Every structure is written in C-alpha cells, then in structure tokens.
Amino acid sequence: IVGHLRERVELPDSVEIYPRRQPKKTRTEGYQPYEPDEDLVPNIADFGKGYHIHVTGLIHDETGFPVGSPEVTEKSIRRLHEKIARVGEEIIHTYEYCMEDAEYAVVAFGGTARTAYETVRRMREQGKKVGMLRLMTIWPFADAAIKRVAEKVKGIVVAELNYGQIVHEVRRAAEGRCEVALCGKYNMKAFEPEEIEEAVKAMMEGGANK
C-alpha cells in the first residue's frame, strides 16, 4: 500500500483474516478460475496451490484468458455490474458527523474528509449548525444517504480535489431537495479548513459556487 500519511496511525496487534473462498472443483474436474458461483463471484484459487491461473486486466472468458468476442464481453460486463448491484447496500459505507441538527452539510471523501472534520468543528464553535457526510465508498454511490441529508438541510457543499465530479452525483441523488454547490481545488495542494469554511459561508449568504 502506498499513500501519504499526515496524521498518527495506530496499528492493531492483530487483524481478522477473511477466509477466501476456495475452488469447488479440481483441475481434473474441469475447474475454470472465472466460472461464477451462484452469487456471480468466481472461486479463484490461491496462487501456489497447484492451479494454473491467468490474470489479466482485459475482458476474458471463464478461463481467464482474453477473448475478443462481443458476446463474451457483454456477458462479462453484465456479470460484473449485477454482482455489485445484488449487494450494493452491503458495500456502501458512509459516516455522519454533527448531522443531528445540521442546517448545512459538507460532503467529502478521501483525505479531504479529514479537512472537512476540522471545518465542521470550527464552525460548530462559531455556533453554526454545520455537519458532514463522509463518503467512505464512491461506487456504488450512496444515493439513499445523500437523499436523507438533502431532505433535512438547506444546502450541501461538496468538497473535492478536482474541477467537479462527485458533485454531479450528489446533485442527481439530492433531486432538488436542497441547494448543492461545489468547493473544488485543483492546484496539487490539499484543502485547508478555511477554504471549505469559506464555501459553506458563501452558501449561507447566498453566493455559493453552483
């Protein structure tokens, strides 16, 4: 794992190892590494366990080897989408901070969420009812969480380090229930709390970047 660390991290003494599913067939029984199970997830063997597995980033069939076939491509992509759709609610994770009585909300994800925490904390000290919804997963998108927040606040500021991407998904999910504005930054630097605070105050005063 490669990443930037800006804060202290505490590593647990032990971690739970999730048991990987194992093949239900042997090689002589016609095992195919990408043959999907009932839940559309294949039982791929562990490396070094005697199975020959081909790994590729290209569209492939159940053997794992690339196939330039429209039929195989359509089948593969449909399976991938359906696999996620079936368990979407289990995958989606969000975290709410100071949202109990919030009148305005900051939606953030990744490292920007850390800055948003501080922004909300400072604005709460000023007596302003601001909260935060942290998107811990981006896809599938947290439509239900955005809808719930949009129904209770006057406005949402989406803070993201780009020219505006997730803000469009937030607007779609909010369905006009409240104002949604972008607080974007794209100069290679992380957000400062003051920058997000300025965007929230601009929305409160009716001058948000829409």
pLDDT digits (tens, 9 = 90+) for 42-97: 999 988 888 888 999 999 999 999 998 999 999 999 999 999 999 988 999 999 99
Could you say which of 37, 66, 86 is where a domain stops? 86
- Check: CB of residue 203 under 8 Å from CB of residue 181: yes
Q: Which of 196, 136, 206, 208 is nearest to 171 (CA)?
A: 208
- Check: CB of residue 86 under 8 Å from CB of residue 39: yes
Q: Are residues 105 and 132 in the same domain?
A: yes
pLDDT for residue 130 is more than 80: yes
The pLDDT of residue 61 is 94
pLDDT for residue 206 is more than 90: no
Q: Are residues 113 and 70 in the same domain?
A: no
pLDDT for residue 123 is more than 70: yes
pLDDT for residue 125 is more than 90: yes
Q: How far apart are CA 194 and CA 118, in angstroms?
A: 9
The pLDDT of residue 153 is 97
Give the DSSP H/E element, type plus range, for residue 89.
Answer: helix 88-91
Q: Are residues 64 and 100 in the same domain?
A: no
pLDDT for residue 118 is more than 70: yes
The pLDDT of residue 9 is 84
The pLDDT of residue 74 is 96
Collect all residues with Cβ–Cβ distance below 8 Å to 209 and sequence separation of at least 6. 181, 182, 183, 184, 199, 202
Q: Are residues 35 and 128 in the same domain?
A: no
Q: Are residues 190 and 152 in the same domain?
A: yes
Mean per-residue pLDDT for 8-28? 88
Question: Does residue 188 form part of some domain?
Answer: yes
- CA angle (147, 150, 154) in 5-degree steps: 175
DSSP code of 21?
P
- Interval 154-172: pLDDT, tens: 999 999 999 999 999 999 9
Query: What's the domain range around 48?
Result: 27-86
Question: Does residue 14 form part of some domain?
Answer: no
Question: Measuring CA to CA, how many Å separate 104 from each of 83, 115, 199, 208?
Answer: 35, 16, 11, 12
Q: Are residues 32 and 119 in the same domain?
A: no
pLDDT for residue 1 is more than 60: no
Into how many domains does the chain fold?
2
Question: What are the tokens at 103?
Answer: 């009148």
Instruction: Report pTM.
Output: 0.83
Question: Does residue 101 form part of some domain?
Answer: yes
pLDDT band at 136 (very low <50, low <70, confident <90, very high): very high
DSSP helix/strand/coil, 46: coil
